Amino acid sequence: MREDPSTIKGAETLMLGEMLTLPQNFGNIFLGETFSSYISVHNDSNQVVKDILVKADLQTSSQRLNLSASNSAVAELKPECCIDDVIHHEVKEIGTHILVCAVSYTSQFGEKLYFRKFFKFQTDEVFLEAQIQNITTSPMFMEKVSLEPSMMYNVTELNSVASGDEGESTFGKMSYLQPMDTRQYLYCLKPKPEYAEKAGVIKGVTVIGKLDIVWKTNLGERGRLQTSQLQRMAPGYGDIRLSLEVIPDTVNLEEPFDIVCKITNCSERTMDLVMEMCNMRSIHWCGVSGRQLGKLTPGASLSLLLTVFSSEQGLQSISGLRLTDTFLKRTYEYDDIAQVCVVCPILKV
């Protein structure tokens, strides 16, 4: 870490390895889990800075949540000192989540400075854990414990480990459950491809399936229990869901590039949409703003090809899209939709 040019000075003394630092895109987190993160702002300069304000927001497809424990500024931060915070959030929505960490401060010369970092994760799956307890006075043999998913989901059982050609049960070869013992069974549910892109349909789905449990007593008598339909909290996308289907990972500075946006009507009413493209400090849109998109019926989607360029290098956030429903005169703003890495091309003579 001492030789890594992308690591701040002195970071090796903090014992931070790759397992304890967030990459820009750190994969998946699952619906129902609690996302926790430790945030540390370190002054690696030789100057005292003042009025430091650290803000952590979580941007979902429908809302922006403030996760900061305190919204008050710290009076000063001396060299080689840190401001630390721990944030938590229970994930209740499916889709891309972006953690936005923003820091503002005043230099010793009175200059007000500001920077942000973005960290993205995805929630596409539902995990179900079922706890089964033997409350009888005799051992029982668990013949089958399965989850029958609802029509919109596919299920994967996660109760075995790969061993040779066949999977071996995590409970061993003898599937006995002693009196008052408890087992946890785990299942992963994913929306079927024909429903995965229909946000308006998945939004209202609360039924995920039912458990089918078959066992035998020590005398060989068979018992069976099938639960009623299991419920989950339906994810919320808001009235309109805007997602990016195509975006390049790396683009050249001040060179236009194309992105494909998908707009989905998640409400139960028809919308008449107008799209505005607002230039930001580093992101500039190409084309006509205030464009009429026309009517979008409930559950319908619309894909748009847009052109944009960046005037600054580094990791830039695609922001500045605004949708207005002319029927209700309601406006929806979309910032930090995605990130793109902007590089300066090498010039050849």
Q: Which domains occur in the chain, in start order?
A: 14-121 (2.60.40.10), 126-233 (no CATH), 240-343 (2.60.40.10)
Give φ, ψ of 23 to 5 degrees.
-75, 170
Predicted pLDDT at 348: 41
Angle of CA points 288, 291, 296, to nearest 5°:
150
203 and 133 Cβ atoms separated by less than 8 Å: no
Predicted pLDDT at 211: 92
Nearest to 132 by CA among 119, 145, 118: 145
Predicted pLDDT at 343: 84
Q: Which residues of the chain have pLDDT under 50?
A: 18-19, 347-349
Q: pTM of this prediction?
A: 0.42
Contacts of 293 (CB under 8 A, 6+ apart): 263, 273, 274, 275, 302, 304, 323
Nearest to 38 by CA among 21, 25, 51: 21
Predicted pLDDT at 18: 46
DSSP bridge pairs for 274:
292, 324
Cα separation, 134 vs 150, whole angstroms:
27
Predicted pLDDT at 304: 92
Predicted pLDDT at 6: 56
55-110 confidence digits (pLDDT tens): 888 887 677 888 887 778 889 999 989 888 888 888 877 677 888 888 889 988 88
Nearest to 236 by CA among 206, 261, 216: 206
DSSP bridge pairs for 309:
284
Cα separation, 58 vs 37, whole angstroms:
11
Predicted pLDDT at 114: 82
**Amino acid (1-letter code) at residue 155:** V
317-328 confidence digits (pLDDT tens): 888 899 999 988
Give the Å distances, CA to CA, from 181 to 95, 136, 138, 143, 306: 37, 10, 11, 16, 58
